[in-house]
Chain A
Amino acid sequence: MNETAPIVHVVDDDASFLTAISRLLRANGFSVKTYSSAHEFLAQREADTPGCVLADLRMPQMSGLDLQTALAQTPNPLPILFLTGHGDIPSTVRAMRDGAEDFLEKTAPKKKLLDAVTRALARDSREREARARRCELRARLDTLTEREFEVLAHVVRGQLNKQIAGDLGIHERTVKLHRTAITTKLKVQSVAELTRLTQEAGIFPGPVRTFPKGQ
């Protein structure tokens, strides 16, 4: 994980405003990078650096909302904060529904703006931690064999060893061995802990569905 300071990425086709707001943010101790278009930002962005995006809603070619959509599809999406000259209700609704951190007019009070940036960076930091943990858990999960993974899926559904053995057509003793291997590899003590871990990693219920019920 990169330990560099978070960067506020400002995207606006209005050069004058771009300069002004970066001055203000820098004066308030933020690291700022400016881009005159959404394309420029997406091209220059260093993957997985902490920060947030401040984007103008109305821009030629790629609008702020388009940028939001594109950013969401990357593995490390940054929280996005919209700025606009004059916000209309439909854009605001769409932006907020799609998870925008905030929606501010360009003439919004300084405090509101700085608070929103601080909040966005905090959220990025939170999300980044969650992502890192998920990553680490996934790495642990990746050490499991295929059979062990199958057993894990049944365990987190709350099935007993006997049921699992029946479902998988293996010996109950073999199930016990797999379970021991799983808890060792994943460094957990209890079933409850195991369930929480899989949830954090976000692997189930997704993979569970690969085992049709009644089988």
Chain B
Amino acid sequence: MEFATVLKWGHVAVWLIVVSLIVFVQLCLGAGRLWLAWTACGLRTFALLLNFLTGQNLNYREITHLVPVRFLGESVAAAKGVPNPWMLVGQLSLVVWLVFTIDAIITTWRRGDRERALAVGGSIVFFALVSSIQAPLVLWGIIQMPLSASLFFTGLVTVMGYELSSESVRASQLDRKLQESEAGLHEIEERMRLAVESADFGIWIRDLVQDEIWATDKWRALFGFSDTERLKLDKILERIHAEDQDKFRSVLEAARSEGSYEAEFRVVLPTGKVRWIGSHGRGEFDGTGKLILVRGVSHDITARRQAEEETQNSRREIAHIGRVSLMGQLASALAHEINQPLGAILRNAEAAELYLQNGSPDLEEIRAIFADIRKDGQRAGSVIDRMRALLKRQNLDKRLIDVSQIVGEVVVLVHSDVTARHVKFEVAVADRLPPVCGDAVHLQQVLLNLFGNAMDALDEAKTGDRRVSVTASLDGPQTIEIAVSDSGCGIPADKLQHIFDPFFTTKPKGMGMGLPISRTIIGAHGGRLWAENRPDGGASFRFTLPITEGSTAK
């Protein structure tokens, strides 16, 4: 009787184990069909009900006696009696459970998690199979051994325990990694922020799904938006310079069609200020290839663009100066050379015209005329070619030169002029100036030009004190500054900004080319030439020459 009761309550444990194993498989492997799980649980619950309602327990309708059975070398008691036919319900639940588990294993196996599928699933299947086969065999007296499902379950629990503990170890490892990566993420974020701040980048993201635009404060500042203003595409478009609107739109298109874009355009700030923006970014697409997000970086390139423009302007000016100064010398020769063949062509054509007006023109003569015209046309062309070859720009011949020597040589050159004009000439060149890299002849031309201007200024001023001074000294560690000053009446304020313009001159016979050419020469040496009025009267022209920098520039 007691044995029957133990067996009866034992089925509660079996129910618990089966249900919990189903839950375990479901959670641990994340696989298995739900309807199979529910069926197995339902059948097992039904079996538990039958366990209490029919016979002494699910296994025996009635236990008649206990017989000693040899099991694992020990003598244990095994029940003997009438088996309960409802036991099959229990076995059926085990079969369904088995099917559910195998199904879960297959899914897991296919997913690639083979080790776990074998360990968890395999053990469950093995024990479920063994226990569901052993019970009927024992009960119907086919084999002599005790009902020992619990023994098999012990093995199952061991496997589960192993699996669970390794899971928890893995979980804790993951947790640690997560913490580490979070710290790393924070670090990356900080670095990113630092980089963005120092690079003066503004970042923006346009979400096309939500139709929202998000941007950093820096970006807002670049485009002249306040920190709180809601950003809209049309509002941004309003800020784009009218001439760059089309370019900006095509950029939006490029992000859509090519996935990335790069562009430079101008924005007009509410204050009216124009700012050049360099921008590049990438689009993000959903599964169907629809653009859903665009991320971009913008930065202020105004300074660079201005520098580029200045370079271009000065290049243009240099080209112009080169052209006009050479033209001054060559224009006459060119016109003469060109007018010879042109004159011949003209006269020949005029003669041919007259011949043709004649009733019976001399075709032989006209043919000769045309041959001559062609020859002279070619001659005119070759004159142009020759001139073009002459006009090719000559490079500076840069060497290491001593500033004091250059100044000294030019002072000697102007000596007679200085004496004739009754000018007091003062030279103050600092001792031991480092050498500069430059073209001595060009630099001497600059000095000659400045000395000439200074002495002309004295003639115009007609003051009693006629002094011209030249000084050369270090201006910082990298630069030598040379100044040519006079005691004339200085440069009128309205002319000061024009004296370096080509063709601007205040002298009756001046070409207006001396100062612009001088400035070009100094610029080509990596220096700067400028003019100022001295506080005690007179003008001062100063230029700098780099000591090391520019010494390698060609």
Contact = CB atoms under 8 A, between A and B. Distances in A.
Interface of A: 14, 16-17, 19-21, 23-24, 26-28, 58, 83-86, 88, 105-107, 110
Given A17-B344, A23-B348, A28 B339 contact: no
B350 A24 contact: yes
A58 B336 contact: yes
A84 B355 CA distance: 26
Contacts of A107: 339, 342-343, 346
A20 B343 contact: yes
**Most A C-beta atoms less than 10 A away, residue of B335, B338, B347:** B347
B332 A86 contact: yes
A105 B369 contact: no
Interface of B: 332, 335-348, 350-351, 354-355, 365, 369, 372, 375-376, 379
22 contacts: A14-B340, A16-B341, A16-B344, A17-B343, A19-B344, A19-B348, A20-B345, A20-B348, A20-B372, A23-B347, A24-B348, A24-B351, A26-B351, A27-B354, A28-B354, A85-B339, A86-B336, A88-B332, A105-B339, A105-B343, A106-B340, A107-B342
A84 B337 CA distance: 10
B78 to A, nearest CB: 137
A184 B344 CA distance: 59
Contacts of B365: 23
A84 B342 CA distance: 12
A83 to B, nearest CB: 8
A106 B351 contact: no
B369 A23 contact: yes
A34 B59 CA distance: 147
A8 to B, nearest CB: 13
Contacts of B355: 27
B336 A85 contact: yes
B339 A106 contact: yes
B396 to A, nearest CB: 32
A106 B340 CA distance: 7
Nearest to A12: B340
Contacts of A24: 347-348, 350-351, 354
B338 A16 contact: no
Contact of A86 (B339, B345, B351, B379): B339
Contacts of A85: 335-340, 343
Contacts of B338: 85
**Most A C-beta atoms less than 10 A away, residue of B332, B342, B350, B372:** B350
A16 B335 CA distance: 17
A160 B347 CA distance: 64
Nearest to B354: A27
**Most B C-beta atoms less than 10 A away, residue of A20, A24, A28, A88:** A20
